[in-house]
Chains A and B, each alone.
Chain A
Amino acid sequence: MLDTTIDVETPEGVQLLIPVAGLAPRAMAWLIDGMIKFGMFIVALIVTQPLGLTGMALWSLFLFALFWLYNVLFEVLWQGATPGKRAMRLRVMNADGTPVGWTGAIVRNLIRPVDSLPGCYLLGCLSVLLSRNFQRLGDLAAGTIVAYKATDPERSRTHVNEPIPLAIPLSSDEQEALVSFSERRKQYSQARAEELAQILEPVLGEVDARRVRSYAAWLAGKGSPT
């Protein structure tokens, strides 16, 4: 199965699927960060201008910090996200799903100039397109990934059907599919719902979409236990 996720198993045996972000969202995040940095650059110039040579020195120091520390500080201290990444709902983390630390953040940002070679991030773009987990060279060196923040899928929590107990045992994946069928009812048509319910007849007997949703309600623990 082709997917855009990294499989991580926690020590407790819980399997996590971390969705990794590809070139387009990362480029957008970079663009937003670039605009923020440019704004800071201009503001710093205006503020330090009246101070003459001292101002120039301060401005240069600020530029240095902006160039080398902006990403590192945000990534380590702000849950793995620069403002641009936050806007795109992205975050940097280690490839095993743990939060990125100082070493990881510093390494991936020290290698940023290499990714930008020969200009316009040519190497970085190619690396993101071709590597397995959308990693640029800095990510590969630091063992980090850029992942989407988990979002709650669109769910309908109203209209709970009358729960009906289910007589046969189902695996957790199967239970999840039934519950999902109920929760996503607004996204597909009624005709499609009946079609999907028909598929389940060999397992559940004579059912319609409504009854399947009742089973789902029972599986989700809605209503009084029977």
Chain B
Amino acid sequence: MNLEDVTVALRPRGQWEAMDLGARMVRRDARAIYLTWFALTLPAFALALAAVWFTPYAGLAVFLYWWIEPITDGPILHVISRRLFGARPTARDALRSTWPALRRNWIYLLTPFRLHLARSAMLSITQLEGLKGKRRRDRAKVIGRRIARPGGGLTVAYHHLAMAVYFGVILLVFVLLPESLQSTMGDGMLQLLWTPGSREANLISLILFYIAQTTMHPWWVGGGFGLYINCRTSLEAWDLEVAFRRMVARRRRGVAAAAVMLFAAGLSLSPSSEAQDAATDAAAVEPIPVTGYWKANEVAPPLRRVQESDQFVSRETTYEYEYRWSRDADEEEAEEEPTAEARDWNWLDGLFHVFAIFVEFWLWIVVALIVLILFLTRNHWLGAISPSGPRASQRASIRVAGELIDAADFPEDYAAVALKLWREGRAREALSLLFRGRLLDAAQRFDLALPDSATEGMCVRAVAKQADAAFTQHFASLTQAWVACAYAGRLPEAAQFQRLAEHAAVAGGDAA
């Protein structure tokens, strides 16, 4: 045992903390410990299962299995106690230690002392200290005074936790049963468990017991060892011994380092320039010429070095994260050695990158949709922006009395159409067409400012303001005829209509 090689932090701890430390030690070597555990217990467990199933001595078999289980304590203790001082025992080593440990510990493992409440804590005395007879008993008294009570508490806690695992596993099976089976199979299982003495009940109990022991037993052994270690740490001031030995070692190292420094200094005093170079390299000190005064160019470089050293300059590194759009920038970034902090944030950078690509994707979709819509509606807007559209489009559409007069689908020779309608007897339509056509002509020829709600009278006044007397007179009489027709149902004379239509045809033709 060499305390300097100790691999756990030694200091006087509370009793619960000591158990926790033991649990930590078991966790550290869980692999070796569980391999050992299974290698030792599985054969015995299999035998016990067979005995329960095939022989009438089920109770005896379970009892025997339970009684010899402490045999595993020794190897588990072997693993964690060796590891405490830096050795790395494997499961094979642990298995080999089974028999020697048993020979030392049999009194705690197989006699009624097996029932000692603080067994896992007391075990270390016999196994690790190798005492016998009266000396062992005295030692057990000294150590037991300190750890028997917490060791007993640990054992009580351990049994409760093992029970929790036992029933937890039963409930786990229930939870995993399909609902349809829960009533039948679940009840059956419960009945089995509550009927002591049945073969199935014994078998299931044994299996559950094994699972519970497997989960908790190594931790219980570890907890006991933790108590023992803590007891000795405070009884023998182990932590102080470690601290003192480190102190001595540091002093020795310090002396050695000082010797090296002296040696280097001695070399620098010697005339050999090569040795001087080596010495100055080692000490990393630039020799500054010691003369009465220093020239500016001589003093500048060492001065700058001093100013830039850590003692004079406080450096801090600030990281700012900006999103680089271009792929090249990313690659440039990647070439630089990433610092620890940068690596920590890399995932965030990546996240932003993915988000950016996502947004970019949808923006392109929107662009494509806009292009598609523009293409499909090209007929509507192409004419409006083309410099020389069809003539019809030059005739302005106007809105009169809330009704749109659309120039595009208005017949070119509306006067002839109107005459034809008149002859067919559709006088009202004919007059309407004639009036609207003439209004359109006026709108084209003069710059009519007509509101959407313009009445016929407003149209006449607007035309009168802009047009010449002949046009105005014709439009006025036409409007009068239309108004009489539209609102009073009085049709003009056939001759009068003929005259109006012909004038419109001639005037329209002139305009065109």
Task: Give A contacts to B, CB under 8 Å.
Answer: 1-5, 19-25, 27-28, 31, 88-89, 117-122, 125-126, 129-130, 134, 148, 151, 153-154, 170-171, 173-174, 176-177, 180-181, 184, 187-188, 192, 196, 199-200, 202-203
A19 nearest CB neighbor, chain B only:
B17
Q: Which residues of B contact A129 (CB under 8 A)?
A: 23, 27, 215, 219
Q: Contact at A2–B237, with CB atoms within 8 Å?
A: no
Given the contacts A23-B23, A119-B168, A148 and B9 also touching, CB distance less than 8 Å: no
B145 CB to nearest chain A CB (Å) = 13
Q: Contact at B165–A184, with CB atoms within 8 Å?
A: no
A195 nearest CB neighbor, chain B only:
B241
A200 to B28, CA, bound (A): 33
A132 nearest CB neighbor, chain B only:
B27
Q: Contact at B24–A187, with CB atoms within 8 Å?
A: no
Can you list 17 A-B pairs, Cβ within 8 angstroms, ordered by A? A3-B21, A23-B219, A24-B20, A24-B154, A24-B157, A24-B161, A27-B157, A28-B153, A118-B171, A122-B169, A129-B215, A171-B250, A173-B243, A187-B234, A188-B234, A188-B237, A196-B237
Q: Contact at B252–A202, with CB atoms within 8 Å?
A: yes
A149 nearest CB neighbor, chain B only:
B14
A130 nearest CB neighbor, chain B only:
B27
* Interface flag for B320 (CB, 8 Å): no
Q: Which residues of B contact A199 (CB under 8 A)?
A: 241, 244-245, 248
Q: Contact at B247–A203, with CB atoms within 8 Å?
A: yes
Q: Which residues of B contact A203 (CB under 8 A)?
A: 247-248, 251
Q: Which residues of A contact B469 (CB under 8 A)?
A: none
Task: Give B contacts to A, CB under 8 Å.
Answer: 7-9, 12-14, 16-17, 19-21, 23-25, 27-28, 153-154, 157-158, 160-161, 163-165, 167-172, 174-175, 215, 219, 223, 234-237, 239-241, 243-245, 247-248, 250-252
Apart from A117-B175, A118-B168, what 8 extra A-B contacts exist at CB < 8 Å?
A21-B17, A23-B161, A122-B168, A129-B27, A184-B234, A187-B235, A199-B248, A202-B248
Q: Contact at B237–A187, with CB atoms within 8 Å?
A: yes
A224 CB to nearest chain B CB (Å) = 27
Chain B at the A interface: SS class:
helix
Q: Which listed residue, B25, B153, B165, B247, touches A125 by the CB 8 Å rule?
A: B165
Number of A-B contacts (CB under 8 A): 147
Given the contacts A4-B20, A24-B154, A24-B157, A118 and B172 also touching, CB distance less than 8 Å: yes
Q: Which residues of A contact B28 (CB under 8 A)?
A: 2
Q: Which listed residue, A1, A120, A170, A184, touches B247 by the CB 8 Å rule?
A: A170
Q: Contact at A1–B8, with CB atoms within 8 Å?
A: yes
Q: Contact at A134–B8, with CB atoms within 8 Å?
A: no
Q: Contact at B19–A196, with CB atoms within 8 Å?
A: no
B168 nearest CB neighbor, chain A only:
A122
A43 CB to nearest chain B CB (Å) = 25
Q: Which residues of B contact A192 (CB under 8 A)?
A: 236-237
B348 CB to nearest chain A CB (Å) = 19
Q: Contact at A21–B164, with CB atoms within 8 Å?
A: no
Considering the complex of A and B, which 7 residue pairs feature the smallest CB-CB distances, nearest first?
A122-B168, A119-B171, A22-B20, A177-B243, A3-B9, A120-B164, A118-B172
B448 CB to nearest chain A CB (Å) = 73
B154 CB to nearest chain A CB (Å) = 6
A84 CB to nearest chain B CB (Å) = 13
Q: Contact at B168–A174, with CB atoms within 8 Å?
A: no
B438 CB to nearest chain A CB (Å) = 81
Q: Contact at A180–B240, with CB atoms within 8 Å?
A: yes
Given the contacts A24-B19, A177-B247, A181-B237, A125 and B161 also touching, CB distance less than 8 Å: yes
A181 to B21, CA, bound (A): 23
Q: Which listed residue, B21, B164, B165, B239, touches A2 by the CB 8 Å rule?
A: B21
Q: Contact at A28–B240, with CB atoms within 8 Å?
A: no
Given the contacts A120-B167, A192-B237, A2 and B251 also touching, CB distance less than 8 Å: no
Q: Which residues of A contact B169 (CB under 8 A)?
A: 122
Q: Which residues of A contact B245 (CB under 8 A)?
A: 199
B32 CB to nearest chain A CB (Å) = 15
A23 to B345, CA, bound (A): 35
B328 CB to nearest chain A CB (Å) = 40
B138 CB to nearest chain A CB (Å) = 14
A27 to B235, CA, bound (A): 28
A167 to B452, CA, bound (A): 109
Q: Contact at A21–B20, with CB atoms within 8 Å?
A: yes
B169 CB to nearest chain A CB (Å) = 7
Q: Contact at A177–B240, with CB atoms within 8 Å?
A: yes
A27 to B165, CA, bound (A): 13
B142 CB to nearest chain A CB (Å) = 11
A188 to B157, CA, bound (A): 30
Given the contacts A129-B219, A192-B236, A199-B245, A120 and B171 also touching, CB distance less than 8 Å: yes
Q: Which residues of A contact B158 (CB under 8 A)?
A: 24
Interface core residue of B163, B244, B250, B252 (most chain A CB under 10 Å): B244
